[in-house]
Amino acid sequence: MVKYVKINGKRYGYVVDFKDDNKIRNSFNKLTRKIYGFDFEKWYQNGYWNDRYIPYALLDDERVIANASVNIIDFLLMGKKKRYIQIGTVMTDEEYRNKGLNRFIIEKILDEWKEQCDLIYLFANDSVVDFYPKFGFVSIDEYQHSKKILPQNKKTHAEKLNMSDKKDRDFLVDTIKNSMPVSKLNMVNNESLIMFYCTSFMKDNIYYIEELDTIVVAEFDGDTIYLNDVFSIREIPLNNIIKAMINKDINKIVFGFTPKDTIIYDVDLLKEEDTTLFVMRDNIDIFRDRQLMFPLLSHA
């Protein structure tokens, strides 16, 4: 239901959680395409947009002109369950910038959610890293693990899953729901967000290792494999999964998550364009001295 608010003297519509309102959702998707180059319509039509992704938007004449979204994400942090809120899809149409619209939305989100979770965080574009400290966010370093390996011939076959096939998608969803944790910071109960990636940006990178009954999200680039996530209903040694995925051309593996056992891996400060991690100042101890990264498939 649309409410009306005044921001710096101008009246805007204000609406929260509008996924089932076709008109507003289509306007939201149009702005998302304009700002980020993708939209959420396929995700919605496939039934993966659930109550854990909540957009907060401002409207001008029924058109979405600014937004920030709440992502409710449960994690296992070193085996302990935590509820985190990630703020994402922060955007303002160009002609409405510098009018305090994003500030209004983010303040609403913080006021509503700060007492309902263990942590609020976000990933910021390089152009706005000076904006979020105004709300009490501080930047935190992330660390990525990797390992040099000896090239070897495959002994186990990995078959690509077809994300255009509902049967394969359902198999992936069921596996994610029942998967054993593989990371020190492991996302749980959020197959919705993972399926956003697996049906869009990474739809051609989903592999099933039948011998291990394991699904892997991985990208190959020259002599390197980027192991973005692993889903298995039973505990499988990570080294067995690596051996099943590499070939004679691969000599390095880079993880898109923090392995549970990090001793045998190299670790580097993670620096990527437009992905600076900010967390609320009160929660920085969660990451101090732990050399963690949020799983890539948890980015919203």
The tens digit of pLDDT for each residue in 110-148 reads 999 999 999 999 999 888 899 999 999 999 999 999 999
Cβ atoms 53, 71 nearer than 8 A: yes
Rounded distance between C-alpha atoms, residue 115 and residue 18, angstroms? 23
Domains of the chain: 3-141+271-298 (3.40.630.30), 145-268 (3.40.630)
What is the SS3 assignment for 249?
coil
Percent of the chain with pLDDT over 90: 87
Tens of pLDDT, residue by residue, the chain (300 residues): 899 999 999 999 999 999 999 999 999 999 999 999 999 999 999 999 999 999 999 999 999 999 999 999 999 998 899 999 999 999 999 999 999 999 999 999 999 999 999 999 999 988 889 999 999 999 999 999 999 998 777 667 899 999 999 999 999 999 999 999 999 999 999 999 999 999 999 999 999 999 999 999 999 999 999 999 999 999 999 999 999 998 889 999 999 999 999 999 999 999 988 899 999 987 777 777 789 999 999 998
Residue 100 — φ and ψ, nearest 5°? 80, 15
pLDDT of residue 188: 93
pLDDT of residue 154: 67
User: Any residues with CB less than 8 A from the CB of 249 and at least 6 apart, and which?
Assistant: 151, 222, 223
**Which of 73-106 are b and which e, b meaning 16 or more Cβ less than 10 Å from the residue's Cβ?**
bbbbbeeeebebbbbbbbbbbeebeebebbebbb
The 10s digit of each residue's pLDDT in 167-202 is 999 999 999 999 999 999 999 999 999 999 999 999
Cβ atoms 176, 216 nearer than 8 A: no
Q: Name the one residue in this structure whose structure tokens are 């390095």.
A: 252
Rounded distance between C-alpha atoms, residue 247 and residue 245, angstroms? 7
